[in-house]
Every structure is written in structure tokens, then in C-alpha cells.
């Protein structure tokens, strides 16, 4: 799973990226880090069943801190989106690759309205223009790919196949293309669409296959609250407020051992009382800001994973009595699957052999037998019974 952070310049994309990928020293040592400077790992959080079961888990593919299971999610800071980007300005290959492979986008906008949609200083700009700019650029980019191949597509014996080939970089299925065309009443037997048709199709295709959430950042700035309310009212997408800068400052302070702060918290504890007056003032300011509802940054990650991407978390085990894998690790793995996935899908996510030889599953809590087509529920603990070892 890959979430892309996207938006005009100076909205706080890199700040948000740094914040969500900066972890405690203990976590930083965890082997999930990549070398790419714009790629990193954030964590969605869920309540680990260890508390409910009165056990101590030994997490392997994820982490567990104080009963909170932390599920790694790949994040990419997609830099370089400006107006006219689809015409070639600023859109390098890396950019396109990041865009194509992402499952969802967080569109970062400046809720304070102090930067324009091209990223320049502004007295009072409307953050909704930021959203429009980003979406238009994405649509124009897909439309541009199709337009430049339209002749070939029109004249090919199998137009749909030709169109599919042209869009092959986008992580789509043929069904996605068919649905988008049908939705906009565009024929697929002979593909001879005009510019408007191509644009309509591109819009439909893009936003039916990539999930989008708007992040109204810089919520700590004056005017942001009002702009955010306005944005919520006029926007079709999910929108959440955030202060990436405060989240980053808090995580840095925690990283340096100055405070104890857990992402999502509405307070922190001072660990080093001998801070400078300036630092004290900054900490007091941040303490006040997070009191009503934190920085909202952790909530955004969780909403992206469990809401936008519609995932649930399930815990496969080999021993349904001890809740362990075969080495005796308690609740070793937490796996994110799409809501609606079956026990068979879970088996397939673990191993093809396990799925092929699957007989049935067991609900570890109730010890009840579950059919292969049992639809998984969030927080399920499941043993897969299979002829495969």
C-alpha cells in the first residue's frame, strides 16, 4: 500500500512527510526504512488484541507499543506539482512513477490561505483553488497520455486493448476502464473521443481508481478554521484539518528526549525541565494547540487506511489456542486487507500454497469453524487450516 502526498509548493507536504515518517529511536531502528529521501514509512494504529486476551504479543511484521498495534504504510512525498505541470513543467519520470503507483493521495492545501495555488505568498487565497489546481493537473496529465495516442487507439483493431496498453503504467484493471467509459457514456467499440470526452473519461478513471483526501494544513494559523469550514462545505472529497508543523516539532522534541509524546495524543510530558525560555514558550504554545484535538495528523493516517482505502486489520495465527505462530510468537502478524476480503483472501495474502491447500478457517476467539468464503471482520484472529505445511 502506498499513499502519496501531493499539492502545490509551500503547502507543507515535506513537513507532513517528515512528521509522519519520524519515529522514536526504538522505532527508527525497525527495518522498514527505504533509501529514497522522498519515500518513508508511517504507521496506522489499531488496538492490539493482546490486552483483551490478557497476553503479551510479540509483533513481527508490525509493532506494538502499550497495546497499540502499529501497521507500516508506505508514504511518498510527490514533489513538483505546479500549474501547467502536465505540459512537462516539473513532471519528471520519478514524479509520474510516484503518482501511478500510489493507491491514495493526500492533497495538502494551505488552510490559512496565505499561499496561492502556485505556492506564492498571498493575503487571502481560497484553499479550494489548491484542490482544483491539483485535480486539474492530474486529469490533464491522464488526458494528455490518451490524447497523444488517440490516433493509434482509434485505428487499432482492438481499441480497448490499445487504450489499456496506453494506460498500463497506472495500476488499473480493464474493468476500471470499462466502468469509467460507461459512466460517461463513451463508446468502447470504436474509440474516437474528442478532447471533452477524453477529459471526462480521465477524470472518471482517475478518481474512481485513486482515493483522495484533502488535508487542510497550517490549521494553527489565523483564519484557517474559517477557511476549513468553508472547504468542508464546498468539497466533494473527505477533508481533514492538520498542523503538520506542530506534529513535526513534537516528534522532534520526543525524538530528542525532551518530551514524551505519542502521535495522536492531546498532551505531552516534559522530560527535561531545564529547557530554555524560548523552548518553554514554544512548548507551551504547542500544548495549548493540541489540547482540544491533537494535531490531527495520526487521525489522518488512520482515516486514510481504514476509511479512504477501506482496510481492516486481521491477525493470522497458527495455534488458535495460544494465538501464536509456529515459533510461539503471540499475535505475530497484523495484516491489512480490504473490507470484504474472505478467509481465502487472507490465506492468499499469506502464501499461495496455504491458499491452494486451504480447507477452512478457525475463529481463534470462539474456536468456531469458518468457511473459506467467510467475510473477515476487523480485528479477527484467524487460523487457516490447509493441507499445505
Ligand X SMILES: Nc1nc2c(ncn2[C@@H]2O[C@H](COP(=O)(O)OP(=O)(O)O)[C@@H](O)[C@H]2O)c(=O)[nH]1
Residues near Mg ion (CB under 5 A) are 13-14
What single DSSP character describes residue 366?
A: T
Comparing CB distances to ligand X, the nearer of 9 and 357 is 9
Shortest spacing between CB 14 and Mg ion, in angstroms:
3
Shortest spacing between CB 135 and ligand X, in angstroms:
17
Comparing CB distances to ligand X, the nearer of 9 and 307 is 9
C-alpha span between 76 and 37 (Å, rounded): 9
Applying CB under 6 A, among 9, 90, 144, 357 the residue interacting with ligand X is: 9
Applying CB under 6 A, among 6, 15, 159, 382 the residue interacting with ligand X is: 15
Q: Does 217 bind ligand X (CB under 6 A)?
A: yes
Among left, alpha and beta (phi > 0; psi -120 to 50; other), residue 59 is: beta
Shortest spacing between CB 209 and ligand X, in angstroms:
24
Comparing CB distances to ligand X, the nearer of 12 and 332 is 12
Shortest spacing between CB 243 and ligand X, in angstroms:
4
Chain residues 49-108 in contact with ligand X, contact rule CB under 6 A:
none
Shortest spacing between CB 227 and Mg ion, in angstroms:
21
Stretch that binds ligand X, among 7-15, 202-210, 298-306, 367-375 (CB under 6 A): 7-15
Applying CB under 6 A, among 3, 6, 12, 294 the residue interacting with ligand X is: 12
CB burial of residue 323 (10 Å; 0-12, 13-18, 19+): buried
Comparing CB distances to Mg ion, the nearer of 44 and 79 is 79
Q: Does 117 bind ligand X (CB under 6 A)?
A: no
Comparing CB distances to ligand X, the nearer of 30 and 289 is 289
Largest CA-CA distance found in the chain, in angstroms, rounded: 75
Q: Does 131 bind ligand X (CB under 6 A)?
A: no
Backbone angles phi, psi at 384, to 5 degrees: -95, 125
SS3 assignment, position 144: helix
Strand positions, DSSP E, the chain: 2-6, 39-47, 63-65, 68-77, 104-110, 211-217, 238-241, 259-260, 269-270, 311-316, 335-338, 358-363, 368-370, 381-386
Stretch that binds ligand X, among 206-214, 216-224, 282-290, 327-335 (CB under 6 A): 216-224
Site size toward ligand X (CB under 6 A) is 15
Shortest spacing between CB 157 and ligand X, in angstroms:
46
Shortest spacing between CB 338 and ligand X, in angstroms:
30
Which residues have a Cβ under 8 Å from the Cβ of 282 and sit 6 or more positions away?
249
Q: Are 195 and 147 in contact (CB under 8 A)?
A: yes
- Full DSSP string of 58-83: --SSSEEETTEEEEEEEEEE-----T
Q: What share of the chain is helix, strand, coil (3-state, %, to 5)?
A: 40, 20, 40
C-alpha span between 21 and 224 (Å, rounded): 25
Chain residues 238-257 in contact with ligand X, contact rule CB under 6 A:
243-245
Q: Does 298 bind ligand X (CB under 6 A)?
A: no
Comparing CB distances to ligand X, the nearer of 83 and 333 is 83
SS3 assignment, position 115: strand
Q: Does 14 bind ligand X (CB under 6 A)?
A: yes
C-alpha span between 82 and 342 (Å, rounded): 42
Q: Does 218 bind ligand X (CB under 6 A)?
A: yes
Q: Does 227 bind ligand X (CB under 6 A)?
A: no
Q: Does 221 bind ligand X (CB under 6 A)?
A: yes
Shortest spacing between CB 339 and ligand X, in angstroms:
31
Question: Cα–chain-centroid distance for residue 42?
Answer: 9
Comparing CB distances to ligand X, the nearer of 37 and 54 is 37
Task: Give me the torsion for CA of 136, 137, 140, 146, rounded to 10°.
Answer: -130
Shortest spacing between CB 245 and Mg ion, in angstroms:
13
What angle do helix axes 93-101 and 127-147 make, rounded to 10 degrees?
Answer: 100
Comparing CB distances to ligand X, the nearer of 64 and 216 is 216
Cell numbers at 112, concatenated: 490559512
Residue nearest to ligand X (CB): 12
Contacting positions for ligand X (CB under 6 A): 7, 9-15, 217-218, 220-221, 243-245
Amino acid at each position: 500500500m502506498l499513499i502519496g502526498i501531493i499539492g502545490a509548493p509551500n503547502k507543507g507536504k515535506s513537513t507532513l512527510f517528515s512528521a509522519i515518517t519520524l519515529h522514536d529511536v526504538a522505532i527508527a531502528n525497525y527495518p522498514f526504512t527505504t533509501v529514497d529521501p522522498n519515500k518513508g514509512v508511517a504507521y496506522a494504529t489499531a488496538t492490539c488484541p493482546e490486552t483483551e486476551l490478557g497476553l503479551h504479543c510479540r509483533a513481527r511484521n508490525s509493532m506494538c507499543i502499550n497495546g497499540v498495534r502499529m501497521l507500516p504504510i508506505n508514504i511518498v512525498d510527490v514533489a513538483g506539482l505546479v500549474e501547467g505541470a502536465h505540459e512537462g513543467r516539473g513532471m519528471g519520470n520519478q514524479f509520474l512513477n510516484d503518482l501511478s503507483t500510489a493507491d491514495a493521495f493526500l492533497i495538502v492545501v494551505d488552510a490559512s490561505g496565505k499561499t496561492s495555488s502556485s505556492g506564492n505568498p498571498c493575503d487571502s487565497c481560497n484553499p479550494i483553488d489548491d484542490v482544483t489546481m491539483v485535480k486539474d493537473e492530474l486529469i490533464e496529465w491522464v488526458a494528455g497520455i490518451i490524447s497523444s495516442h488517440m490516433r493509434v487507439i482509434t485505428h487499432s483493431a482492438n481499441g480497448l486493448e490499445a487504450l489499456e496498453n496506453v494506460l498500463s503504467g497506472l495500476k488499473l484493471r480493464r474493468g476500471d476502464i470499462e466502468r469509467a467509459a460507461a459512466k460517461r457514456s463513451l463508446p468502447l467499440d470504436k474509440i474516437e473521443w474528442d478532447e471533452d470526452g477524453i477529459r471526462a473519461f480521465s477524470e472518471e478513471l482517475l478518481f474512481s481508481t485513486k482515493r483522495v483526501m484533502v488535508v487542510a494544513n497550517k490549521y494553527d494559523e489565523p483564519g484557517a478554521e474559517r477557511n476549513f469550514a468553508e472547504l468542508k462545505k464546498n468539497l466533494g472529497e473527505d477533508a481533514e484539518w492538520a498542523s503538520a508543523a506542530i506534529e513535526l516539532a513534537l516528534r522532534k522534541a520526543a525524538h530528542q528526549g525532551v518530551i514524551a509524546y505519542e502521535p495522536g495524543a492531546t498532551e505531552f510530558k516534559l522530560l527535561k525541565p531545564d529547557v530554555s525560555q524560548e523552548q518553554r514558550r514554544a512548548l507551551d504554545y504547542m500544548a495549548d494547540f493540541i489540547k482540544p484535538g491533537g494535531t490531527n495528523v495520526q487521525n489522518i493516517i488512520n482515516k486514510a487506511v481504514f476509511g479512504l482505502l477501506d482496510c481492516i486489520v486481521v491477525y493470522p495465527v497458527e495455534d488458535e489456542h495460544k494465538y501464536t505462530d509456529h515459533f510461539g510468537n503471540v499475535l505475530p502478524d497484523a495484516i491489512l486487507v480490504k473490507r470484504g476480503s474472505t478467509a481465502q483472501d487472507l490465506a492468499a495474502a499469506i502464501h499461495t500454497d496455504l491458499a491452494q491447500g486451504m480447507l477452512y478457517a478457525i475463529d481463534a476467539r470462539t474456536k468456531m469453524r469458518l468457511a473459506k468464503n467467510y467475510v473477515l471482520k476487523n480485528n479477527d484472529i484467524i487460523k487457516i487450516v490447509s493441507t499445505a505445511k
